[in-house]
Amino acid sequence: MSRPTVFITGAAAGIGRATALFFAAQGYHVGAYDIDEVGLTRLAADIHAADGSVRTGVLDVTNATHWTERLAEFHADQDRLDILVNNAGILRAGPFEDIDLATHQAIVDVNIGGVITGTHAAFGYLRDTSGAQVVNLCSASAIYGQPQLASYGASKSAVKSLTEALDLEWERHDIRVIAVWPMFVATAMVDGMETGSTKSLGVRLTAEDVAKGIWEATRKRGRLPRVHYEIGTQAKVLATVAKYAPNWAVRTANKYFSGS
């Protein structure tokens, strides 16, 4: 019998790497993709050392041709695509006007453009695999717009909306589409980053915490559909507050935590 498979973007480091290691340890054939070839080589060595199964490849998530080629190569290994994890993303923090326009555009291109491009390219493989799933990495910064993270939060809000739409559209194809929502995670992405929110809330999650959260979310296919999975106590509390509190209260809380 073929192994279940998971295709992970941004897999060379951080959350992507931790997720690849976790799923490989559970017996999955892992597709690990990134623009960082050195990081991928190290990841593959670690997975093979633990008797895991992995294919790696260079993937720029904004490049449609890359997606077509990498997905075809990976699918040929086991003739199935059980889970697509859209993890690749970039983050730049600072006052909106101090970040150059090219950087804002890159955040949008990678964080939402890459998800659209890859998920579109993967559709046929997902449709042809019974019980397939798409996991999109969202962020608690999308619960309410965060000062100094304007473009990043906006890109993740778009991921939220895309996830909800595809969850409804693709249910008829037996494809489940979900989003995971961590707060700040201790990875290279936040190294040296200082915003009001990171100072007040801290960086309390590890990449391994998020990898475990992704694993648990993909195990939960209950009778009542669930789309959003907050990871960590802080994200769960903020999501609950945003859901039930009046808008002015949510705005005030965000203003307080961000030091604005």
Catalytic residues, by residue number, are: 152
CA dist., res. 146 & res. 255, Å (int): 9
Cβ pair 86, 117 in contact under 8 A = no
Give which of 143, 40, 158, 28 is closest to 80, Cα–Cα: 28
Closest by Cα among 164, 173, 182, 163 to 119: 163
Question: Residue 166: which of 135, 142, 143 has the closest Cα?
Answer: 135
Q: What are the structure tokens assigned to 180, written together?
A: 């995971």
What is the DSSP pairing of strand 83-86 with strand 228-231? unpaired
Structure tokens at 232: 């960590």
Whole-number Å distance between alpha carbons of 177 and 161 = 11
Phi, psi for 31 (deg, rounded to 5): -100, 115
